[in-house]
Amino acid sequence: MSDSQKLVELQSVQKAYREPNGDRLPILDIEHFAVEPGDQVVIRGRSGCGKTTLLHAIAGITPVDSGSISIGGVELTRLAEAGRDRFRARNVGYVFQTFNLLPAFTALENVVLGMTFTGRPKDRKRAIELLEAVGLGHRLHHKPSAMSVGEQQRTAVARALVNKPVLLLADEPTANIDPGHQQQVVDMLREVCINEKVAMLMVTHSPEVSDQFDHVVALEEINRVARAA
């Protein structure tokens, strides 16, 4: 079973898509990959090498074909879909590249929405505290359309952390932000993750961003499919 030291651990994970003509299209073939608790890991790799697919698999959004993925000792690959959904709601935060927020809801409501699917009571105070922590104390009641992309991303970070997850997955969270504000968001992400004692697994294309991290993994190196290509 998984090493108790590791927060996230992947063993012999394989994922393939079916092409329209019925052929198998292998995307992931990872022998071993792990994230330590509280660590901040950057994944880079060329476009299409399977970074997003990997994050989806770790989040339990996309089921894998074989192998095991465990988070905090819970083997996700043994859970049924509804179990993975509930686990994700409680333990994994996710920030996408863009359009993280539901347009009908204000910043605060979007964060509270993050607490809706956990099956636990909602803590509005924590939502406000987190929005203040990401520097949006003055934007609580703005709808996404009235916020800058950077503000939207910060709201998404607050939402991803609101349930006190053990892991934050971020898929190119700064790709759509202008370079001037990119650094702000990266700093904020790193800081709140340390404060909240959350491990972070971030995908980025930007060398300026990845250079700041000690732990950088090129997906091509661990993914046999991408290596072969």
Partner 1 sequence: MNYLTIAWRNMCDRPLASTLTGLSMALGVAAVICVMVIHRIAVEQFEQDPQGYNFIVGGTGGRMQLVLSTVYHLDKPLYPISYDYYRKFTDGEYARYTDVVVPYCLGDTFVAGDFKYRVVGTTPELFDELKYDGDTSYEFSEGRNFKRENFFEGVVGSIVAKQGGLKVGETFNPTHGLAGEGDKHREFKVVGILAPTGTTNDRAIFVNMEGFYLLDGHALSAKPPTSDDTTPSTTPDPGIPSVGYDNAGNEVEPLPESQREVTSLLVRCPSAIDSMTLNTVINKSGSATQAVAPTEVVATLLDNIIGPVQVVLLVLTALIVLVAAIGILVSIYNSMSERAHDIAVMRALGASRMAVQLIVLLEAVLLALLGGVAGWVLGHLMIGIASPFVEARTGVSLDMLAFDASELVVIPALVLLAILAGVLPAFTAYRTDVAKALSGTR
Ligand X SMILES: Nc1ncnc2c1ncn2[C@@H]1O[C@H](COP(=O)(O)OP(=O)(O)OP(=O)(O)O)[C@@H](O)[C@H]1O
Interaction between residue 49 and partner 1 (CB under 8 A)? no
- 119 exposure class (CB count in 10 Å sphere: 0-12, 13-18, 19+): exposed
Q: Residue 147's binding partner, choosing from ligand X, Mg ion, partner 1, none, with beta-carbon cut-off 5 to 8 A by kind?
A: none
Residues 181-210 that bind partner 1 (CB under 8 A): none
Residue 53 or 70: the one with the smaller Cβ distance to partner 1 is: 53
Residue 165 CB, shortest distance to partner 1, in Å, is 10
Q: Which residue is nearest to Mg ion (CB)?
A: 52
Q: Give yes or no for residue 154 binding partner 1 (CB under 8 A).
A: no
User: What's the rounded Cα separation, in Å, for the pair 125 and 162?
Assistant: 10
Output 94 or 213, the one with its CB closest to partner 1: 94
Q: Which is nearer to partner 1, 134 or 213 (CB)?
A: 134
CA angle 128, 144, 201 (to 5 degrees): 70
67 binds, among partner 1, ligand X, Mg ion, none (CB under 5 to 8 A by kind): none
Is 62 a residue that touches partner 1 (CB under 8 A)?
yes
Span near partner 1 by CB under 8 A; candidates 40-48, 100-108, 201-209, 210-218: 100-108
Residue 146 to residue 196: CA distance in whole angstroms: 28
Output the smallest distance, CB 166 to partner 1, in A: 14
Q: Are 64 and 28 in contact (CB under 8 A)?
A: yes
Q: Is 228 in the site for partner 1 (CB under 8 A)?
A: no
Binding of partner 1 by 152 (CB under 8 A): no
Long-range contacts of 83-86 (CB under 8 A, 24+ apart): 84/60, 85/60, 85/117, 86/117, 86/118, 86/119
Instruction: By CB under 6 A, name the binding residues for ligand X.
Output: 17, 25, 27, 45, 47-53
In whole angstroms, what separates CA 149 from the centre of its chain? Answer: 18
Q: Which is nearer to partner 1, 95 or 213 (by Cβ)?
A: 95
CA–CA gap between residue 80 and residue 93 (Å, rounded): 19
Closest CA relative to residue 152, chosen from 171, 170, 136, 133? 136
Quick one: which of 65, 94, 60, 66 has its CA closest to 80? 60
Where on the chain is the footprint of partner 1 (CB under 8 A)?
52-53, 56, 59, 61-62, 81-82, 85-90, 92, 94, 96, 98-105, 109, 112-118, 122, 159
